[in-house]
Amino acid sequence: MSVLVMREVSRDHGAGPNLVHALRGVSLHVEAGEFVAVMGPSGSGKSTLLNLAGGLDRPTGGRVLVEGVDLSTLGKAELARLRRRSIGYVFQDLNLIPALTAAENVMLPRELDGVRTAQARREALRALEEVGVPELADRFPDEMSGGQQQRVAIARALVGERRLMLADEPTGALDTATGEEVMRLLRARCDAGAACLMVTHESRHAAWADRVVFLRDGVIVDATGSPAGPESLLEGAR
């Protein structure tokens, strides 16, 4: 099943002589278990695409569906609930709350969602375990390295079985080795069934995805296609 469907999505900013088409009729599917990277020069519409996919912005044309739900049919509160329950975000600037420990940061979206504290903590510890930093649970962000903070941010994006991960330059401030660890984590989440859409300008990181989509001037200009599996080899033979 497609976890994310974008159908002929457009986003305009401004009007009249200042009208800018940030996205122009972009169609994109991300299946469960699939990892898709978006590349393109700055100003090509990458971040706009990600914001629309995550319901942080609304399209001026076309439809966005997350787990089969058309985001345009949702009211503000419903949209916020869907964002908390189905979508995990990983940003370049990690957005951890400095006054909260790692576990509390990870618990936050679950508690906002009405989950009891004890249950939210159990889930948070499991998520921290999954990203390999259970020992950081009671540390504050300023007591962690950049790589550790990014792991905690990913744990927060994973907690509560969210099926769509959106990542905007998730390795931005990290060195090559730590960046690779982050990519291994995202890859493992996809192999375990999550769908991931990642914006990056680093080909080294985009290469961890199943598919790379190239945006230019708000239009998809090219895509790598998925790696050759047995089915696609058969297709080639036909």
The footprint of other proteins (CB under 8 A) covers 13-14, 17-18, 20-23, 39, 41-48, 184, 187, 201-204, 206-210, 212, 214, 216-218, 221-225, 227
Q: Which C-beta is closer to other proteins: that of 47 or that of 92? A: 47
Q: Which C-beta is closer to other proteins: that of 67 or that of 92? A: 92
> Between the CA of residue 184 and those of 145, 181, 197, 211, what are the distances in Å?
18, 5, 15, 16
Q: Which C-beta is closer to other proteins: that of 63 or that of 201? A: 201
Q: Which C-beta is closer to other proteins: that of 2 or that of 224? A: 224
Q: How far is the CB of 155 from other proteins (least distance, A)?
A: 19
Q: How far is the CB of 141 from other proteins (least distance, A)?
A: 25
Q: Which C-beta is closer to other proteins: that of 111 or that of 181? A: 181
> Between the CA of residue 41 and those of 50, 128, 200, 209, 218, what are the distances in Å?
15, 34, 10, 18, 10
Q: Which two tokens stand for residue 31?
A: 């299946």
DSSP alpha helices (H): ranges in 113-175?
A: 117-130, 146-158
Q: How far is the CB of 97 from other proteins (least distance, A)?
A: 27
Q: How far is the CB of 78 from other proteins (least distance, A)?
A: 27
Q: How far is the CB of 32 from other proteins (least distance, A)?
A: 19
Question: What order of strands is seen across the sheet that includes strand 61-66?
Answer: 20-31, 2-13, 61-66, 69-70
Query: What is the Cα–Cα distance from 154 to 236, expressed in whole angstroms?
Result: 38
Phi-psi region at 9: left, alpha or beta (left = phi > 0; alpha = psi -120 to 50): beta
